[in-house]
Amino acid sequence: MIKRAGSLMPVSSLPSPYGVGDFGITAYEFIEILSAMGMKVWQVLPLNPLGYGNSPYQAYSSFAGDEIYISIDKLVAVGLLDLRDAHPFNSESKSVDYIKVRRHKQPLLQLAFKNFNISKQYQDKYKAFITGNEWLNDYAIFLTFKKINNLDLWTKWPDKYKYWIKSKQLDLSKYAEQINYEKFVQFIFYWQWTELKAYANKHHIEIMGDIPIYLGLDSADVWANQDLFLLDEKCNPTYVAGVPPDFFSETGQRWGNPLYNWDKLEETGFKFWIDRLRGNANLFDILRIDHFRAFDTYWKIPASCKTAIDGTWEEAPGYALLDTIYKKLPEIKIVAEDLGDLRPEVYKLRDKYKLPGMKVFQFHFNLNKKNTEFENTHNMVIYTGTHDNNTLIGWYKTLSPKNKRHLKNKFNITAKGPNSISRDLKRAIISYTLKCKAKYIIFPIQDILGLDVSARLNTPGKIGSPNWEWRLIDYTALKEEVDFISKTIKTSNI
């Protein structure tokens, strides 16, 4: 088996002249840096429209893309904006200010839409996009309604909007321009992303996308498919998703996502899931399914409960679903996020379909004993950390003095001073993980750079700033790691 190394880097965290990473020239430069390092995988977070808390795991749609990733410079390049319209914004900020980014980009996208209508360029390409994406019309209507209703949760909309998806009684002609604008934005998003992905593939780099298993209530998916979720007569969830109390939380985690009506989904031949995966398989080369265990069993919390304490484990039709997936999409590449304390049946389900699971250095490396957690990991993805972890150096700084000594002794770290320790320790751990038996070895870009907790992307259980806001200013420090990473990969049997 051939191991493949890669990096986890959200698009939002890329350097950019416009306050947030996008599909512009710096994304292409990032691919070139990965290629120079010998990396073969770029893992991204969900690119869907960000919802509550700017979390990519609470999106307005599991099919659509967020307009913040659209490159203004590329709109100039194709003649939809004038060079005078494009000017830098928050380019030196170390965090993303999502509100300001949207305020800056939205007028430019609206101007590009106006120019698109006037010029009549790219109409054949646009018509093909509309024809080839059956989710698009419902999403464009949903987002138009949402904007009309001050971005309120759709369950709070007046009935004429809330139930339009079933009644179709509201005349949409007066909203035609707004609906067409939303379709145009998606057209541009897909156009730019498809070109960027092709560039990555040309450099022999696969893109790993991330598929949240659950959907946010405030999404076009739930609004347009109400029968596929456990909702009451007012469209509010009767049960919600989460995980029960454990070592990390006395009250568990109440995520609040509506649960699937699995019986109804099975009656439809799992069409929604097949369509969702097919669409994402066109955007990405590999799909990581977050919280895979819910295909086996899921924690069912009554919506009236304020915590996740009260709930029951329910079985999902995982085998029937995966049988259907591989019958309909035989070439699909799936990675199962199987972290945590799981029952054996989850691993049996994973292994039945030969799905790679996950191991995380911070969770599985035993500081005091012979490390056995990374044995038998041929069909695994090994991470130094994920988007939910502290950075390697941030994690190291939380260890007790005794465990810090254990870790430095294990990797023969003799450097003095925090900067030298950080450099030598992260390089030792990168070298160690690259030598492990695995299908993929993935490093968050923060770990390659040896950054501390200030570069942490997300802290689970917390909502809002500073989650999801970290970003790079430039590639200066990353380019300094190219020689080390490339040499280490070459000597690690990859």
d(CA 259, CA 144): 25
d(CA 302, CA 296): 19
The residue written with tokens 């012979």 in the block is: 370
Give the phi and the psi of residue 242 in degrees, each rounded to 5. 165, -165
d(CA 54, CA 469): 9
Q: Which residues contact 290 (CB under 8 A, 6 or more apart)?
A: 57, 210, 211, 212, 213, 337
Structural tokens at position 227: 């029968």
Q: Which residues are known catalytic residues? A: 290, 337, 388
At position 141, the amino acid (one-letter code) is: I
Structural tokens at position 107: 């007028």
Instruction: Give the containing element (helix H, strand E) for 287.
Output: strand 286-290
- In terms of Cα–Cα distance, which of 33, 5, 27 is closest to 14? 27
What is residue 46's three-state secondary structure?
A: coil
The residue written with tokens 């770029």 in the block is: 42
- Evaluated on CA atoms 160, 166, 170, 176, the torsion sign reads positive
Give the phi and the psi of residue 83 in degrees, each rounded to 5. -55, -30
CA atoms within a 13 Å half-sphere pointing along the CA-CB vector of 192: 28
Structural tokens at position 374: 């990374």
CA atoms within a 13 Å half-sphere pointing along the CA-CB vector of 9: 28
Burial class from Cβ neighbours inside 10 Å (0-12, 13-18, 19+) for residue 45 reads buried
At position 464, the amino acid (one-letter code) is: G
